[in-house]
A and B are shown apart, each in its own frame.
Chain A
């Protein structure tokens, strides 16, 4: 069953559009009606980053009439390795602006509606309401639960994709009879249990692979062709180059789509334990400037870098020693309880966890370097490369 209005109510294609979409029109399964469905379709992309880039480009090229984009971020250099909606010239611009320009370059017929806001519990329902389906290109658990719950409450299909390093997952959630994301993972993992791409990295082409799968599923749902990923979770492993699907079942006890105990959207950042400044209040911090002064004075500081060896290789703070967080238990035994300990990582998240471990082990003179080596590079030593 295709989404949207009956065939008789669909918009007509212009002569120019017929020429542009010729390769679609000659596929019997798509044809004129399928293309008119695409033209009539309203798709909301949540996020215009790694996954959102190929999603936006291919949905635009395919002739989706209206593409809404929720995105508050600006383009930075670290995005360019995978976010092909944005170019080098766009660094510093709003992602919404570069996405709109690029999409209109691909296909000026597409109406792009920019939602310059963070997708949150206060606006998700209003944002999703106006669209036929949602494509989830977000990058954190809070946004994924939020997207899912909003789609369940409004009965909108949610084309899901997520990635980490070399692996990805995709499915179609929140259809009338299919499972939702909460049927797969009822509750989010505790903070720190699953690293983010910013912490763990991602192969640049991987969001391309998964985003194209999401765009394919969206086009199939709109035109009503093929077998969608409803009830299946596609697992992609780029290192093995293997694709397999496992079965997803609708959970009758699911709080979202089963028992329907979730009747409104909650504060998802808290649900997912995303770090906020308030949460880290119990972790003593040292500003980059203060550390620089103390090192310059020759204070006896045990400076611990809890990043991975490959990050250490990119750059480090002079005088530090490497002790990756994964093996931190072994490092604890090597520390002197009497000495001041300063811990850092890339941005301050992993080192905050290390500080908590140190506090639990009885260390009292221990600090987290605020903003990690990234801020150290920005404010103290620009010879340390940022990444």
Chain B
């Protein structure tokens, strides 16, 4: 499955400056693994050493929070869009 992954500019530096990435995988976790293989530094910011998502970086699959689905095991359909939203606190 080919999906689009959108990351915020704060993470883009770890991914060659690009905020939009195409990757393949059957689940959100596989897509993240595919992106991490291309951009290891970004990978470290998307998941912890055990490969689990951080509580302060939320993944939305087609605008739905994957924590209310099957987390990284949530299946993705071809053409899906994953948006990565880290916690920010500035004001």
The complex places the Cα of A84 from the Cα of B40 at a distance, in Å, of 41
Decide yes or no whether A245 CB sits under 8 A from chain B: yes
CB under 8 Å from chain B, chain A span 202-222: 202, 207
Given A52-B91, A163-B91, A189-B56, A194 and B9 touching (CB < 8 A)?
no
Partner of B89, one of A49, A141, A235, A248: A141
Given A246-B65, A247-B63, A249-B65, A163 and B90 touching (CB < 8 A)?
yes
Decide yes or no whether A51 CB sits under 8 A from chain B: yes
Chain B contact residues, CB within 8 Å of chain A? 8-10, 13, 19, 54-56, 58, 60, 63-65, 68, 83, 85-91
Would A144 and B89 count as touching, CB distance under 8 A? yes
The complex places the Cα of A47 from the Cα of B90 at a distance, in Å, of 11
B36 CB to nearest A CB, Å? 17
The complex places the Cα of A247 from the Cα of B68 at a distance, in Å, of 11
Decide yes or no whether A371 CB sits under 8 A from chain B: no
Closest A-B pairs by Cβ, 9 of them: A197-B90, A189-B56, A139-B91, A164-B88, A246-B60, A51-B91, A246-B63, A163-B90, A141-B89
Would A162 and B55 count as touching, CB distance under 8 A? no
The complex places the Cα of A237 from the Cα of B88 at a distance, in Å, of 13
Interface centre among B56, B60, B88 (most CB of A within 10 A): B88
Q: Which residues of A contact B55 (CB under 8 A)?
A: 185-187, 189
Q: Which residues of A contact B87 (CB under 8 A)?
A: 141, 184-185, 188-189, 194
Chain A contact residues, CB within 8 Å of chain B? 47, 49-52, 136-141, 144, 161-169, 184-189, 193-197, 200, 202, 207, 233, 235, 237, 239-240, 244-249, 251, 326
Partner of B56, one of A139, A162, A185: A185
The complex places the Cα of A101 from the Cα of B26 at a distance, in Å, of 58
Q: Which residues of A contact B83 (CB under 8 A)?
A: 235, 244, 246
Given A189-B54, A240-B19, A194 and B8 touching (CB < 8 A)?
no
Chain B interface, >50% SS class: mixed
Nearest to A187 among chain B residues (CB) is B55
Given A186-B55, A193-B56, A247-B63, A164 and B68 touching (CB < 8 A)?
no
Would B91 and A47 count as touching, CB distance under 8 A? yes
Interface centre among B55, B58, B83, B89 (most CB of A within 10 A): B89
Q: Which residues of B contact A161 (CB under 8 A)?
A: 91
Would A233 and B10 count as touching, CB distance under 8 A? no
Q: Which residues of A contact B68 (CB under 8 A)?
A: 249, 251
Q: Which residues of A contact B54 (CB under 8 A)?
A: 189, 193
Given A141-B89, A187-B55, A164 and B10 touching (CB < 8 A)?
yes
Would A237 and B8 count as touching, CB distance under 8 A? yes
Nearest to A136 among chain B residues (CB) is B91
The complex places the Cα of A245 from the Cα of B56 at a distance, in Å, of 18
The complex places the Cα of A233 from the Cα of B85 at a distance, in Å, of 10
16 sample A-B contacts, Cβ–Cβ < 8 Å, listed by A number: A47-B91, A52-B91, A141-B87, A161-B91, A164-B89, A165-B10, A186-B55, A189-B87, A193-B54, A194-B56, A194-B86, A200-B10, A237-B19, A246-B65, A246-B83, A247-B60
The complex places the Cα of A240 from the Cα of B13 at a distance, in Å, of 16
Nearest to A207 among chain B residues (CB) is B91
Would B85 and A138 count as touching, CB distance under 8 A? no
Given A165-B10, A194-B86, A235-B85, A49 and B91 touching (CB < 8 A)?
yes
